[in-house]
């Protein structure tokens, strides 16, 4: 019979080995989430949350269910990171309202102009300073991450590989429940295609190529903060266009 103390020590050693083995996966997921995080959020904190998710995965994983461990662990790790971010709760209701207004500003101008609106044009429409709109976009980054179910639709997103759930707000999701899946793909693909070139490239590199924030910044030769801003602008535009499409259905 194996002594309990020895069994516990062995299991502790086994866990440590697996934490070391899968720590690169935790860091990779943290690097992906970084595109939606404000600059003041410490990536090491996010990695810490992810390690808790990894430990949870090691405890709960059952190979008999047919999952690959890496797939299962990725879900638990990402979930733990997002739960940790939610506990910070640094985005007040007033900020959410500002994000919604900026989103509506993009939609209104793009409908009126027939092209992608700039941050400067939105600022002029809302009678605000450009720096204020940029500040709202920074807040929108974390709302994009924590306000929606991030589960991707396997092979059922648009042609760029963008997760439908991430890009649609609640109203848009309800509206699209009455549209055939093929129409969803076409509508979102068209919306992505109409993005400004840099935003479209960020969306492609992030959702299709699955690069991290640092990798996208290196590819595009831009700062990480600029990549985050482009991502946030793209998501606001797409959500706005999908919401407008919802209104046109009724």
The mean of the pLDDT values for the chain is 76
> CB–CB of 18/122 below 8 Å?
no
The residue ranges of every structural domain in the chain are 4-88, 93-248
What distance in Å separates the CA atoms of residue 217 and residue 235, rounded to the nearest whole number? 18
CATH dotted code for 4-88: 1.10.1740.10
- In contact, 234 and 195? CB cutoff 8 Å: yes
4-88 and 93-248 agree in CATH topology: no
Q: How far apart are CA 150 and CA 166, in angstroms?
A: 6
Give Dmax (Cα) for the chain.
77
Position 11 scores a pLDDT of 53
Split at pLDDT 50, 70, 90, the class of 92 is low
Measured CA to CA in angstroms, residue 28 lies from 49, 213, 216 at distances of 13, 10, 13
Q: What percent of the chain has pLDDT over 90?
A: 26
pLDDT (0 to 100) of residue 53: 93
Output phi, psi for 185, to 5 deg.
Answer: -60, -45
Check if the beta carbon of residue 233 is closer than 8 Å to that of residue 226: no
pLDDT tens track for 22-78: 999 999 999 988 887 777 778 888 999 999 999 999 888 876 567 788 888 998 999
* CATH code of the domain made up of 93-248: 1.20.140
Residues 124-165: pLDDT tens digits? 999 999 988 888 887 777 666 654 334 333 333 343 444 444
């Amino acid at each position: 019979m194996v002594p309990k103390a020895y069994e516990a020590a062995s299991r502790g050693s086994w866990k440590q080995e697996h934490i070391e083995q899968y720590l690169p996966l935790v860091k990779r997921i943290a690097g992906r989430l970084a595109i939606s995080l404000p600059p003041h959020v410490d990536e090491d904190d996010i990695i810490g949350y992810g390690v808790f998710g990894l430990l949870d995965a090691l405890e709960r994983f059952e190979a008999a269910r047919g999952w690959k461990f890496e797939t299962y662990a990725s879900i638990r790790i990402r979930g733990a990171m997002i739960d940790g971010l939610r506990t910070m709760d640094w985005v007040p209701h007033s900020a959410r309202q500002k994000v919604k207004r900026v989103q509506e500003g993009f939609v209104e101008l793009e409908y009126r102009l027939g092209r992608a609106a700039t941050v400067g044009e939105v600022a002029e429409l809302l009678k605000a300073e450009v720096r204020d709109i940029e500040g709202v976009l920074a807040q929108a980054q974390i709302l994009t991450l924590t306000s929606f179910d991030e589960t991707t639709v396997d092979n059922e997103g648009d042609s760029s590989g963008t997760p439908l759930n991430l890009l649609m707000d609640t109203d848009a999701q309800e509206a699209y429940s009455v549209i055939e899946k093929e129409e969803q793909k076409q509508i979102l693909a068209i919306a992505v295609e109409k993005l400004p070139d840099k935003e479209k490239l960020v969306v492609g590199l992030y959702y299709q190529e699955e690069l991290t924030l640092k990798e996208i910044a290196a590819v595009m030769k831009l700062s990480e903060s600029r990549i985050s801003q482009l991502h946030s602008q793209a998501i606001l535009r797409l959500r706005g266009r999908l919401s407008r499409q919802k209104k046109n259905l009724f």
